[in-house]
Amino acid sequence: MLSNFTAKYRKISSGYMGQILEWPEVVTEGKTLEECREMLEDALKEMILAYIQLKKEIPQGRVLYEPITVEMPVAAEI
């Protein structure tokens, strides 16, 4: 069975940090974006196996995310 999850990547001083949005505990870092992707996929697989062994419910993928636009106040206005 295939499940889709949403990955978020952020540039950090040591490379990249990756996180699964539907499952915030699945997080990792890599020197390159590709390394981070690979490590995040491995971390996700390991977390799924651990949850199966513990008979815990696995978070479902395919969550709806949408951008929200907000006008930011200028520092002088605050």
The series of mean pLDDT values per 10 residues for the chain, 78 residues long, is 86 96 94 97 95 90 72 74
| Separation of alpha carbons 31 and 52, rounded Å | 30
Please calculate the CA angle 37-41-45 and round it to the nearest 5 degrees: 170
* Own/partner long-range contacts of 56-59 (Cβ < 8 Å, ≥24 apart): 58/3, 59/22, 59/23
* CATH architecture of residue range(s) 7-77: 2-Layer Sandwich (3.30)
**Model pLDDT, residue 68:** 80
**Model pLDDT, residue 58:** 87
Q: Which residues contact 31 (CB under 8 A, 6 or more apart)?
A: 14, 15, 16
For the chain, the structural domain boundaries read 7-77
**Model pLDDT, residue 64:** 67
**Model pLDDT, residue 75:** 73
**Model pLDDT, residue 2:** 76
Q: Which residues contact 27 (CB under 8 A, 6 or more apart)?
A: 17, 18, 19, 20, 40, 43
**Model pLDDT, residue 61:** 66
